[in-house]
Amino acid sequence: MISETLKRIPEYLLAILIIITLNFALPRMMPGDPFLQISGAGGEVGDAYTAEQREYFMAYYGLDRPAGEQFITYLGELSRGDLGFSYYYKESVSNMILRRLPWTLLLVSAATAISLGAGMALGSFAAWRRGRRSERLTYLMMVVFGEIPAFLVGLFLLVLLAAGLGLFPLAGAMSHYTQFDSYGAQLADIMHHAALPVLTLSLARTGSLFLLVRNSLGTILTRDYMRTARAKGLTERRIRWRHAMRNALLPLITRTAMQMGAMVGGAVLVENVFNYPGLGQLMYDAVFVRDYPLLQGIFLVLAITVLAANLLADLLYKRLDPRIAAEVKKQSTGPGIKPVGTGGRNEDL
């Protein structure tokens, strides 16, 4: 059980290494060099640097050394948390990211929690009312909402609820230039600003979680232990939540973790829809002014966060599922039966 998780760690390390290498290689694969870029902004070739000056700067930034050596230096800088210096904003990239990160984390974690809760509630609602009209309506709604990309849903909500009805602010994460009477009022203000982005992200993510819960509950309901639970005279609520939902929870965790990449991608877009000052909006700004160090720093932070979430889910999954431990034991003595519906990532084709 532990070795199974340990076996996956090299994979994560490899993924991180690929990301870092990509990050290192991309600017160096571009035609020209940074000094050409700076001196010839906007396509006009000016010679702001003489040949000696260029050589001096190349040596100063270490760009004349072999690529392998540069890579080692780059790794060293990364390990010290140094993500470079933003051309445009003239500030350390790490500082800029740290300032924006909490907003993105707020959106992503709130949306994850809400979509998980909504997916479970609606999924079990649907599993218990299979075939009825209310269930089919929910199903259709969820499928449609799950398929529309988050930023389109966000634009719709923004136009309807914020611009049209004026219920929510159009942009930002909090009201500026205002004094709050209490922390509670400030918290309410922040929640008011975050409401639409979080709603958008949750709507876009609930669909697939709903389908997963509905389908796994559907198979669980036909199992023998469900009949046993009923025969024992347990209450409906207990059967639903303790016996059925507990088993549906496991694939849900894997799915949530695997969706983390899509969630972060969605957050990048949704932040730009709502002008929410998180990393996604900073990424947009970086693209707009072609501030490559900033862009790469954000990319690195997002990618590593997603990988960490996946690793966490892997660990959690093995903790939560006693059958995996049992299966490993069985396999050492003889062929074990693979538990249905808990195949984790390999099952999800």
Partner 1 sequence: MQEALLKLKNYLLRIFILAGLLWSRLSPTGRAALLILMLLVLTALFAPLLAWHPPDVSSGPALTPPGDGHLMGTDDLGVDLWAMIVFGARVSIIVGLGTALLAGLGGSIAGIASAYKGGWMDRVIMRLVDIMIVLPDLPVMIVLAAFFGPSLSNIIIVLALFSWSRPARLIRAQTLSLKEQPYVKMAAHYGGGFFYLLFRHFLPELLPLLLVNMIRLAGMAIIAEASLAFLGLGDPTSRSWGLIINHAVNFSGIYFTPFWQWWLLYPWLFLTLLVTSLALLGRDLERVADPRLSS
* Binding interface with partner 1 (CB under 8 A): 11-12, 14-15, 18-19, 22-23, 26-27, 29-30, 140, 143-144, 147-149, 151-152, 155-156, 158-159, 162-163, 170, 215, 218-219, 258, 260-262, 264-266, 268-269, 272-273, 283-284, 287-288, 290, 292, 295-296, 298-299, 302-303, 306-307, 310, 345, 349
Of 202 and 310, which has the nearer Cβ to partner 1?
310
Place of tokens 């590593």: 304
CB of 120 to partner 1, least distance (A): 18
Chain centroid to Cα 259, Å, comes to 7
Q: Which of 263, 265, 223 is nearest to 246 (CA)?
A: 223
Residue 92's DSSP bridge partners are 85
Two structure tokens written together for 292: 């490559």
Residue 90's DSSP bridge partners are none
**Over the range 93-111, which residues count as b (16 or more CB within 10 Å of their CB) and which as e?**
bbebbeebbebbebbbebb
Of 47 and 347, which has the nearer Cβ to partner 1?
347
**95, 82 in Cβ contact below 8 A?**
no
**345, 254 in Cβ contact below 8 A?**
yes
Of 219 and 235, which has the nearer Cβ to partner 1?
219
CB of 116 to partner 1, least distance (A): 19
Of 323 and 345, which has the nearer Cβ to partner 1?
345
Of 93 and 264, which has the nearer Cβ to partner 1?
264
CB of 283 to partner 1, least distance (A): 6
CB of 148 to partner 1, least distance (A): 6
Of 240 and 255, which has the nearer Cβ to partner 1?
255
Chain centroid to Cα 81, Å, comes to 21
**173, 103 in Cβ contact below 8 A?**
yes
CB of 55 to partner 1, least distance (A): 25
Distances (CA, A) of 282 to 100, 292, 295: 8, 12, 8
CB of 26 to partner 1, least distance (A): 5
